[in-house]
A = this chain, B = another copy of it.
């Protein structure tokens, strides 16, 4: 599985100056987030309620109601905190190497049922749930392309790279039973780089 850092403190949205994200608040936030992840991994998302989450987190329901406006907001927050600072952007020296590594990392990450459950729930809850899931991934992609451009290479747009790489990876993970393995993801990266540099090989399939 891809490297995953611990739950970060103080990321909920920069609070005003009169705020105390100190020890207790941070613990509550972490516990609630963990509870959401666990419950999503265990049962269907439709019967995920605030009191249930609170009970699992060992926190009073009132606290959950007061800190997160709705279940959708909570899910979006969980998704965002889970998908930021999560994956280390590869730096292998070549665009092909970077994209290969990154694509296989992302595909591997989406193998985890917990991760998938979070994405599903965040998508279903609110309209902006999807952006919270992939926002960080998209900027990662952009930084790798920028690096190659600085090296003087020809690079596709971020949109095109997202279409070719993230499109199939997320599509398979969400809609099919075959999540796509590392080799498959590597081929996706190769196809993007090959098509970009003009060295297109006839389809092997």
Q: Are A160 and B205 in contact (CB under 8 A)?
A: yes
Report the copy number of this chain in the oligomer: 2
Per-position 1/0 for A37-49, Cβ under 8 A of B: 0000000111000
Contact of A171 among B124, B131, B163, B177 (CB under 8 A): B163
User: Which interface residue of A46, A126, A133 has the most chain B CB atoms within 10 A?
Assistant: A46
Contact count band on A? 35 or more
Q: Chain A at the B interface: mostly helix, strand, loop or mixed? A: helix
Per-position 1/0 for A143-183, Cβ under 8 A of B: 00000000000101101101110111111101111100000
Tell me the complex Cα distance, A20–B174, Å.
36
Contact of A131 among B121, B164, B176 (CB under 8 A): B176
Contact of A163 among B131, B168, B198, B202 (CB under 8 A): B168
Q: Are A198 and B202 in contact (CB under 8 A)?
A: yes
Per-position 1/0 for A100-134, Cβ under 8 A of B: 00000000000000000000110111100011011
What are 5 A-to-B residue pairs whose CB atoms are below 8 Å? A46-B72, A166-B175, A168-B168, A171-B171, A195-B195
Query: Closest 7 interchain pairs by CB?
Result: A124-B124, A200-B200, A167-B167, A167-B168, A163-B168, A130-B175, A167-B171
